[in-house]
Amino acid sequence: MLKRILIVDDEQKLCEQLRRFFEAKGFQVYTSYDGTSALEVVRSTEVDVVLLDLRLPDQNGLDVLRSIKREYPGTGVIIITGHGDVDTAVNAIQMRADNFVLKPVNLQTLLTVVERVLESYQSQQEVLFLRGRQSEIRGQQVKQLLLPPDVMETVRLLAENPATNVLILGETGTGKGMVANAIHELGPRRDEQLVDLNCAGLAGNLLESELFGHEKGAFTDAKKAKRGLLEIAHRGTLFLDEVGDMALEVQAKLLKVIEERRFRRLGSTVYVDVDVRLMAATHVDLDKAVKAGTFRSDLYYRLSVMPLMLPPLRNRKGEIVPLCNLFLQEFGAKFSKPDLRCARETESMLEAYGWPGNVRELRNVLERAVLLCTGETVEPKHLPENMRTQARTRQFIEGVDYSLESVEAGHIRQILTLCENNRSRAAKLLGIHRTTLLSKISKYNLDD
């Protein structure tokens, strides 16, 4: 594809010189002698880069720059200016111009600058494409959770409201992190970072340093300044996993950030403003934690504007086999074992198992099974031994009638067999009247 360049300068001789040069280098070239016509070209043509003089006959070049960057942020702008306008050119860089070149123009230097700007924007497009692919993948991942319709509707609603704090609740392994990813990727902050931090096992001072960062010398081991995750997640999302394990002193500082949208690094007196969407997850019962004094009630209320509860896998029996098939596709592709399927007995065992580790445990079990499977069918022998034992025990228990009537009928049947169907003798052994026994024989259909 031809690279498209627009040259904007009121010096027509310079425009023609630059046109011939860039056409010889394989560019499609457009020229404009004032700001108004330049904006018309940008709005009607897909221009890759603009060479823009700051002194134009009809308007200030900075105003043209501002309009281009506001309307077409994917278009590169290089300022061409005289030595007397260097300060203005620097201001243009602060207004998101990509570079500037001084007059008189060295053509080879200008070509190098243009190519670098084009490479930069091409890389940005590739990043956006990859982010788009990641968004599709993560969107598929939340579908793979096969969540109940009401939960899925809440996920979509939260994604559409990026200012709302999110609290995701559920047992370990139910997919809280994956749902947080999906909410971020399906929302308008998808092009910014999702930064995650597991609060479990981090002492208060370490967690505080991770969140807020620190200045050099703020404490003994602070050899150099460090940006905190709040600062890194600016304009994006910060996901705090296992927030129920956060130390109380850090909870107080986090609450202040939520309320004021700013914070200070450890050892600093300067405030840093942040725009961050906060998502948190925990398997802890925060209501009990608040009552026990281990979690601040005000922070809990701030986080739980719209809580999202993920159900455990044991309560979603009908989704186990579909999830299993999705994981077989994933690991079959990963280990070059396509077209894998589960034997019916394997599916029955998976459905009978209690899944204390929820979706994460199911995924790990299927990855192991795919590695062990040498054919096209995952057999019970490919499942862990404890799972096979527990599943068989549960299947046996669930297949037996333990009702009182069933036990009584079985006991009477055994006594009648022992007494060779002598009902008077059987009644005596059972300690009941013969007419009572006859009534129960009729009730339980034991005449044979």
Q: What is the pLDDT of residues 237-256, one digit of tens each?
A: 999 999 999 989 999 999 99
CA 204 to chain centre: 26
Q: Which of 71, 42, 61, 63 is nearest to 100 (CA)?
A: 61
CA dist 335 and 366 (Å) reads 12
Q: Which of 193, 357, 206 is nearest to 279 (CA)?
A: 193
The pLDDT assigned to 279 comes to: 93
Please say whether the beta carbons of 68 and 42 come within 8 A. yes
| 280 against 202, higher pLDDT | 280
User: Would you say residue 197 has pLDDT above 50?
Assistant: yes
Q: How many helices (H) and strands (E) does the chain have?
A: 19, 16
Beta strands in 270-393 (DSSP E): 271-273, 277-282, 306-309, 341-342, 377-378
User: Would you say residue 427 has pLDDT above 60?
Assistant: yes
Token readout for 103 is 């007059």
Domain borders along the chain are 3-123, 145-309, 314-398, 404-443
Q: For the segment 258-293, what is each residue's pLDDT rounded down to a tens digit?
A: 999 999 888 888 888 889 999 999 999 999 999 999
| 69 against 402, higher pLDDT | 69
CA dist 125 and 118 (Å) reads 11
> b/e string for 125-140 if b means 16 or more Cβ within 10 A?
eeeeeeeeeebeebee
Q: Which of 70, 76, 121 is nearest to 98 (CA)?
A: 76
Q: Which of 321, 383, 325, 356 is nearest to 174 (CA)?
A: 356
The pLDDT assigned to 33 comes to: 94
Q: For the segment 18-43, what is each residue's pLDDT rounded down to a tens digit?
A: 999 999 999 999 999 999 999 999 98
- What is the architecture, at CATH level 2, of domain 3-123? 3-Layer(aba) Sandwich (3.40)
Beta strands in 292-415 (DSSP E): 306-309, 341-342, 377-378
CATH class entry, domain 314-398: mainly alpha
Mean pLDDT of the chain: 85
Band (pLDDT 50/70/90 cuts) for residue 168 is: very high
Beta strands in 179-236 (DSSP E): 194-198, 213-214, 226-227
**Which helix (H) or strand (E) segment is 7 a member of?**
strand 3-8
239 to 138, 195, 282, 303, 357: CA distances (angstroms): 15, 6, 11, 12, 21
Query: Do 3-123 and 145-309 fold alike per CATH?
Result: yes
The pTM of this model reads 0.57
Domain 404-443 fold: Arc Repressor Mutant, subunit A (1.10.10)
CATH class entry, domain 145-309: alpha beta
Q: For the segment 140-151, what is each residue's pLDDT rounded down to a tens digit?
A: 555 555 677 778
The residues near 429 (Cβ < 8 Å, ≥ 6 apart) are 415, 418, 419
